[in-house]
Amino acid sequence: MLSTKEVAIGSSMARIFVIGIIPNFLIQAFALDPTVVGYNETWGPVISTLNVITGFALLFVFALTTKLFGDDNNPYVRITGTIAFVTQCIFVQDAFAGPLASNSDNAFLTTNQVLQTTGTNGPVWALFLGIFTITVLRSSKVDLLPSWGVIAGYGAAILVMTNGLGSAFGLIPDAANLIILILGGVILYPATVWALGVSFRASLNTAE
**Distance, CA of 61 to CA of 59 (rounded, Å):** 5
Q: What is the pLDDT of residue 22?
A: 94
Q: What is the pLDDT of residue 207?
A: 58
Q: Are 10 and 2 in contact (CB under 8 A)?
A: yes
Range of the domain at 126: 4-207
Q: What is the pLDDT of residue 26?
A: 92
Q: Are 163 and 184 in contact (CB under 8 A)?
A: yes
Three-state DSSP class for 205?
A: helix
The tally of domains found in the chain comes to: 1
Which of these, 98, 116, 125, 117, lies nearest to 41 by C-alpha position?
Answer: 98
Q: What is the pLDDT of residue 141?
A: 94
Residue 50 amino acid letter: L
Q: What is the pLDDT of residue 120?
A: 86
Please tell me the pTM assigned to this model: 0.92
User: Residue-wise pLDDT tens for the chain (208 aa)?
Assistant: 899 999 999 999 999 999 999 999 999 888 988 777 889 999 999 999 999 999 999 999 999 999 999 977 899 999 999 999 999 999 899 999 999 999 887 777 889 898 888 888 889 999 999 999 999 999 999 999 999 999 999 999 999 999 999 989 988 888 898 899 899 999 999 999 999 999 999 998 875 5
| 168-196: pLDDT as tens digits | 998 888 889 889 989 999 999 999 999 99
Q: What is the pLDDT of residue 177?
A: 84
Q: What is the pLDDT of residue 175?
A: 84
Q: What is the pLDDT of residue 206?
A: 73
Which of these, 31, 59, 58, lies nearest to 44 by C-alpha position?
Answer: 31
Three-state DSSP class for 83?
A: helix
**Distance, CA of 12 to CA of 14 (rounded, Å):** 5
Q: Are 91 and 129 in contact (CB under 8 A)?
A: no
